[in-house]
C-alpha cells in the first residue's frame, strides 16, 4: 500500500537524506526534501568517506563525478597512543578525504538532477506520526508555516530530534576545523589519543587537512567556550599531534556539536522511517558514519520497494550493532592513558590483532 503511492518526504539533506532522494527519484517517486540550511553548509565530521560509502557511490554510478571533486585516497591509518607511541595499519580498502561542503553539495545536486524537489532553507518544526504523517514546515526566509502530508516520511535530520522519544545527548562534543601546511603523510588518517578523548587529522582536497576531535563538554566549559584554547590544551598533551601541527595554520572556523551516541530503536513512530544518524549513532573513531548513513538509505529504499519496511529495524540493527561495540572499545582504548600504549604493544606482537580490529570496525 505504502509503496503504491510513490510520494515521499525526506527531512534533512545529509548523506542519508540525499542518497534516499536520489534512489527514490531515479525510480520514479515524487520526492520532496527539506533542508534547514542553505548549501554549501559545513558540518562537524572527520571527512573520511569509508569504503561502505564509496561502494554506494559506485552502485549509484557516481564514482567518476566523485573523483572530479579531487578527494584524497587514504590507504593507511596511524594510531598514536597518549604517550606518543604509534602503530601503523594499512586500510584493507581505501577511504577518501573529502570536505563535507563539497561532498554534501555533490549528493544534493545529484538528488536534484534525479528529480527530487528540494525545499531550502526550510525547517521541519514538528512531525506528527500516523498512516499519513503530518509534517509542519517553516520557511526560514519568509517565516511562512505550511503543513504537508506524505505516505512515507524519511527522517534524516542527523539526530532524531523530531522523534516522539528523541535519543539522549551525550556529555561529549565533536569539534572540527581545517588546517593548511600540516606536515606528514598525505595518504594516512592519523588518530591521536589524548587522555580521555581522541581525534584525528586527515588530508582532504585542495591541500587542506581536517582536524576533528571528540572531547568532553567539560573541557569546552573549562575554557569558557573558547574551542581554540581547548584545542591548544589537547595539542599540548600529545607530542605526536604537536609535531604534526607545528607550522600548520588554521584556515577554517571551529565547528562544535553535541556528539550523538545511541543504538537502533525498534519502536519507530507510524509512517516514519529514521535514516542515518536519526536511526543510530556510533562513536566516530572508525570513520563509518557517512557510509552507514548512505547504506541505511539504500536499505530503506529497497525495503520500501519490496514492501518489507517492518523488517528494516532488524537490518539497521545488524548494520550498526557490531560496529557500535567495537568503535566504543577502540575509542576507549585509544584515549586511555593506561591502556593505549599497552594495546599498541599487543597489536604489534599479535599478527591477528590488526586484521581483527579492522574487520570489527567494518573496514
Ligand atoms: C567528530 C566527528 C567525526 C566524524 N568523522 C567521520 C568520518 O571521518 N567519516 C564518516 O563517515 N563519518 C564521520 N562522522 C559521522 C558523520 O558526520 C555522520 O555520521 C553523518 O553526517 C550522518 O549523516 P546523516 O545524513 O545521518 O546526518 P547529517 O549529515 O547530520 O545531516 C542531517 C541534515 O539534516 C538537516 N536538518 C536537521 N534538522 C532539520 C530539520 N528539523 N529540518 C530540516 N533539516 C534538518 C541538517 O541541517 C543536516 O543537513 C563524524 C562525526 C563526528 C561528530
Identify the residue whose C-alpha is closest to ligand 1 atom 2: 45
Q: In the chain, which residues fall in CATH 3.30.9.100?
A: 65-99+169-259+327-360
Ligand 1 binding pocket, CB closer than 6 Å: 11-17, 34-37, 43-50, 123-124, 156-158, 162, 174, 212, 214, 259, 276-277, 284, 287-291, 293
- The three cell numbers of residue 199 are 581525534
The minimum-distance atom of ligand 1 relative to the CA of 291 is 11
2-44+100-167+263-325 under CATH 3.50.50.60, yes or no: yes
Q: In the chain, which residues fall in CATH 3.50.50.60?
A: 2-44+100-167+263-325
Predicted local distance difference test score (pLDDT) of residue 204: 98
pLDDT band for position 5 (cuts 50, 70, 90):
low
CA of 138 to the centre of ligand 1 (A): 21
Q: How far apart are CA 74 and CA 121, in angstroms?
A: 34
User: Cell 602503530 appears where?
Assistant: 87
Q: Give the mean pLDDT of 308-321.
A: 94
The answer to whether the CB of 132 falls within 8 A of the CB of 152 is: no
Predicted local distance difference test score (pLDDT) of residue 353: 81
How high does pLDDT run on average in the chain? 93
Predicted local distance difference test score (pLDDT) of residue 300: 98
Model's pTM, two decimal places? 0.96
Model confidence at 349: pLDDT above 90:
no
Q: What is the DSSP letter of 31?
A: E
CA of 108 to the centre of ligand 1 (A): 14
Residue of 290, 295, 319, 328 with the most ligand 1 atoms within 8 Å of its CB, for mutation: 290
Q: How far apart are CA 328 and CA 97, in angstroms?
A: 23
CATH topology (fold) of 65-99+169-259+327-360: D-Amino Acid Oxidase; Chain A, domain 2 (3.30.9)
Identify the residue whose C-alpha is closest to ligand 1 atom 18: 289
Predicted local distance difference test score (pLDDT) of residue 338: 83
Q: How far apart are CA 291 and CA 63, in angstroms?
A: 14
Query: Over the stretch 53-102, which tens digit does the pLDDT of each residue have?
Result: 999 999 999 999 999 999 999 999 999 998 888 999 999 999 999 999 99
Predicted local distance difference test score (pLDDT) of residue 4: 52
Query: Over the stretch 150-209, which tens digit does the pLDDT of each residue have?
Result: 999 999 999 999 998 899 889 999 999 999 999 888 999 999 999 889 999 999 999 999
Amino acid at each position: 500500500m505504502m509503496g503504491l503511492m510513490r510520494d515521499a518526504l525526506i527531512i534533512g539533506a545529509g548523506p542519508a537524506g540525499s542518497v534516499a532522494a536520489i534512489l527514490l527519484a531515479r525510480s520514479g517517486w515524487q520526492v520532496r526534501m527539506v533542508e534547514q540550511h542553505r548549501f554549501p553548509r559545513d558540518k562537524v565530521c572527520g571527512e573520511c568517506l569509508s569504503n561502505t560509502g564509496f561502494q554506494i557511490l559506485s552502485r549509484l554510478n557516481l564514482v567518476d563525478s566523485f573523483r572530479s571533486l579531487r578527494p584524497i585516497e587514504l590507504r593507511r591509518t596511524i594510531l598514536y597512543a597518549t604517550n606518543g607511541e604509534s602503530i601503523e595499519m594499512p586500510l584493507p580498502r581505501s577511504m577518501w578525504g573529502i570536505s563535507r561542503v563539497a561532498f554534501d553539495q555533490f549528493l544534493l545536486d545529484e538528488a536534484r538532477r534525479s528529480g527530487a524537489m528540494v525545499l531550502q532553507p526550510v525547517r521541519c518544526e514538528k512531525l506528527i506520526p500516523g498512516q499519513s504523517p503530518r509534517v509542519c514546515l517553516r520557511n526560514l526566509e519568509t517565516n511562512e508555516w505550511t503543513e504537508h502530508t506524505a505516505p512515507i516520511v524519511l527522517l534524516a535530520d542527523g539526530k532524531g530530534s523530531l522523534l516522539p522519544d528523541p535519543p539522549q545527548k551525550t556529555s561529549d562534543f565533536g569539534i572540527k576545523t581545517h588546517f593548511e601546511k600540516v606536515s606528514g603523510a598525505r595518504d594516512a588518517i592519523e588518530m591521536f589519543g589524548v587522555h580521555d578523548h581522541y581525534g584525528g587529522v586527515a588530508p582532504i582536497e585542495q591541500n587542506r587537512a581536517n582536524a576533528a576531535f571528540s572531547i568532553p563538554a567539560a573541557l569546552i566549559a573549562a575554557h569558557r567556550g573558547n574551542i581554540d584554547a581547548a584545542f591548544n590544551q589537547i595539542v599540548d598533551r600529545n607530542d605526536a599531534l604537536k609535531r604534526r601541527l607545528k607550522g600548520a595554520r588554521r584556515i577554517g572556523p571551529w565547528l562544535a556539536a553535541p556528539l550523538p551516541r545511541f543504538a537502533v530503536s525498534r519502536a519507530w513512530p507510524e509512517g516514519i522511517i529514521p535514516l542515518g544518524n536519526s536511526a543510530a549513532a556510533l562513536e566516530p573513531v572508525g570513520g563509518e558514519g557517512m557510509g552507514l548513513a548512505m547504506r541505511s538509505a539504500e536499505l530503506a529504499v529497497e525495503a520500501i520497494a519490496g514492501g518489507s519496511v517492518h523488517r528494516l529495524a532488524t537490518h539497521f540493527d545488524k548494520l550498526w550493532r557490531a560496529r557500535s561495540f567495537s568503535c566504543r572499545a577502540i575509542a576507549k582504548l585509544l584515549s586511555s592513558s593506561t591502556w593505549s600504549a599497552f594495546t599498541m604493544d599487543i597489536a604489534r606482537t599479535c599478527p591477528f590483532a590488526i586484521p581483527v580490529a579492522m574487520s570489527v570496525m567494518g573496514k
